[in-house]
Amino acid sequence: MHRVADLLRGELSSIIQHEMRDPRVKLATVSGVTVSRDLSHAEVRISVLGEDEKRQDCLRALERAQGYIRTLLAQRVRLRAVPEMVFKLDRGAEHSLRISEILEGIDVDAEGT
């Protein structure tokens, strides 16, 4: 399952960056893929730069293009069946950035006292 998830992550990243022409998905990065035990479903975590509205637009664009994405995946990977995909927003990078900003603020406060 882990090997299939890594394979799908790499191929999905390539498809989103190089094959899709929709400008809403250009700032998207595939941060991870989790595949079900029977390989019939995959949760694809997407990290998107920008404000919340742009993130939601990106997810909608990926959902609408799922058929196209699955067709390209079927051509590139050797699996009995390409899993159904659910795209979810990964807010890990956003949280890391916020924590860094908070820590920088603490350092500035500590130096001032």
81-101: pLDDT as tens digits? 889 999 999 877 666 777 777
Provide the pLDDT for residue 51: 85
pLDDT of residue 80: 85
Domain with 80 in it: what CATH number? 3.30.300.20
pLDDT along the chain (113 residues), means of 10: 91 94 90 92 90 91 94 90 91 72 69 54
The predicted pLDDT at position 105 comes to: 76
What pLDDT, on a 0 to 100 scale, did the predictor assign at position 94? 67
Helix, strand, coil % over all residues of the chain, rounded to 5: 60, 20, 20
Residue 66 burial class via C-beta count within 10 angstroms: exposed 0-12, middle 13-18, buried 19 and up: middle
Q: Kindly give, in sequence order, each residue whose CB lies less than 8 Å from that of residue 19, ignoring residues fewer than 6 positions away.
A: 72
Q: Which helix (H) or strand (E) holds 29?
A: strand 28-35
Count structural domains, the chain: 1
Three-state secondary structure call for residue 45: strand
Domain range holding 15?
A: 2-112
Strand order in the sheet with 41-48: 28-35, 41-48, 84-89
> Does residue 20 sit in helix, strand or coil?
coil
Cα distance between residue 97 and residue 99, in whole Å? 5
- The pTM (predicted TM-score) of the whole model is 0.78
